[in-house]
């Protein structure tokens, strides 16, 4: 124990501190430090006894931390890393420490976000595994096999994108993912979107991009993207271009699913409609795209 006035490490018998008849272990030895480093080691050990650890029952001291002796924020991090204290306790201790509080709290928030992302990925993988027995065999569409897929087996300056249009519940999205595999297909929710968010695209992983519920207007606003240019495509333009980013989508399959593609084409001007028809392979789905 540490004397609250003289900050000297002394052995103080404390008969009142008993747990099932046993007294706390008391020692003034510090084999890990010498000289001035002993003071810091003693303080760190004393803090370890005071901090509200997981499973602790009762804590009391005559030399409270933060006022009797200073605390280094790394001590809190080490205890949190070793799962000795909860995140809530660590956050409160950082606030009491008053040293680089923002940096340590930002670190905790970032850690929580990473853990959440990891947990969601694990849950997603488990869901896909559970759904695997329910998956039905995809049908063979002659136009896809003849006109769309062969484009990616040979060099081409530009490629046509695939449009699967038709009523809902025909399995258009699942069929589109099956062409290149779930892991190698980046699926984007493009309902009501004028520019798709491709910041999650990885050219070393993804061979196809699926624009689910994409619109004709979205394609017209991003023509170079859907043509699969040999140069990088810059997205997220604004007045300041503060958040712009570039993607390299050469030889990447572009697949779009829609419930209203043909109706949207009829509402366009002739030049825009001709461009979309000339640069796409459109399949009007009437039957389910899986074997029944």
Name, in order, each residue with C-beta under 8 angstroms of 79's C-beta and a sequence gap of 6 or more: 48, 51, 53, 85, 90
Mean pLDDT of the 236-258 span: 92
Predicted confidence (pLDDT) at residue 17 exceeds the cutoff of 80: no
Backbone angles phi, psi at 62, to 5 degrees: -100, 0
The C-alpha atoms of residue 98 and residue 92 are separated, in whole angstroms, by 10
pLDDT-based confidence at residue 117 (cuts at 50, 70, 90): very high
Name, in order, each residue with C-beta under 8 angstroms of 46's C-beta and a sequence gap of 6 or more: 1, 2, 61, 63, 65, 69
Mean pLDDT of the 220-233 span: 94
Backbone angles phi, psi at 80, to 5 degrees: -65, -40
Q: What is the pLDDT of residue 291?
A: 86
Name, in order, each residue with C-beta under 8 angstroms of 23's C-beta and a sequence gap of 6 or more: 13, 14, 15, 17
Give helix 73-81 / helix 101-131 axis angle, nearest 10°: 20
- Which ranges in 165-222 belong to alpha helices (H)? 172-180, 216-221
pTM for the predicted model, two decimal places: 0.75
Considering just the CA atoms, what is the radius of gyration of the chain in Å? 31
The single-letter DSSP state of residue 151 is G
Mean pLDDT of the 166-195 span: 95
pLDDT-based confidence at residue 35 (cuts at 50, 70, 90): low
Which tokens in the block code for residue 266?
């009829």
Name the average pLDDT for the chain: 89
Ranges of CATH 3.40.50.300 domains, the chain: 142-284
SS3 209: strand
CATH T-level topology, domain 142-284: Rossmann fold (3.40.50)
pLDDT-based confidence at residue 114 (cuts at 50, 70, 90): very high
pLDDT-based confidence at residue 5 (cuts at 50, 70, 90): very low
The single-letter DSSP state of residue 133 is G
């Amino acid at each position: 124990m540490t004397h609250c006035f003289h900050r000297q490490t002394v052995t103080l018998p404390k008969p009142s501190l008993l747990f099932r008849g046993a007294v706390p272990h008391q020692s003034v030895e510090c084999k890990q430090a010498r000289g001035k480093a002993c003071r810091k080691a003693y303080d760190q050990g004393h803090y370890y006894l005071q901090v509200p650890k997981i499973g602790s029952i009762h804590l009391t001291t005559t030399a409270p931390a933060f006022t009797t002796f200073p605390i280094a924020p790394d001590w809190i991090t080490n205890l949190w890393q070793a799962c000795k204290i909860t995140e809530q306790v660590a956050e409160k201790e950082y606030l009491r420490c008053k040293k680089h509080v923002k940096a340590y709290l930002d670190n905790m928030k970032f850690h929580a976000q990473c853990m959440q992302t990891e947990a969601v990925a694990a849950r997603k993988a488990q869901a896909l595994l559970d759904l695997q027995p329910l998956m039905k065999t995809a049908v063979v569409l002659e136009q896809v096999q003849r006109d769309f897929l062969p484009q990616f087996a040979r060099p081409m300056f530009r490629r046509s994108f695939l449009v699967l249009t038709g009523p809902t519940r025909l399995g258009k999205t699942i069929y589109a993912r099956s062409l290149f595999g779930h892991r190698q297909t980046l699926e984007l929710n493009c309902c009501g979107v004028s520019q798709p968010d491709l910041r999650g695209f990885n050219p070393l992983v993804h061979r196809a991009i699926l624009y689910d519920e994409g619109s004709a207007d979205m394609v017209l606003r991003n023509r170079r993207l859907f043509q699969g240019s040999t140069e990088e495509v810059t997205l997220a333009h604004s007045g300041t271009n503060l958040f712009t980013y570039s993607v390299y989508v050469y030889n990447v399959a572009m697949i779009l699913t829609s419930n209203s593609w043909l109706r949207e084409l009829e509402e366009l001007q002739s030049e825009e409609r001709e461009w979309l028809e000339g640069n796409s392979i459109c399949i009007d789905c009437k039957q389910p795209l899986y074997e029944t």
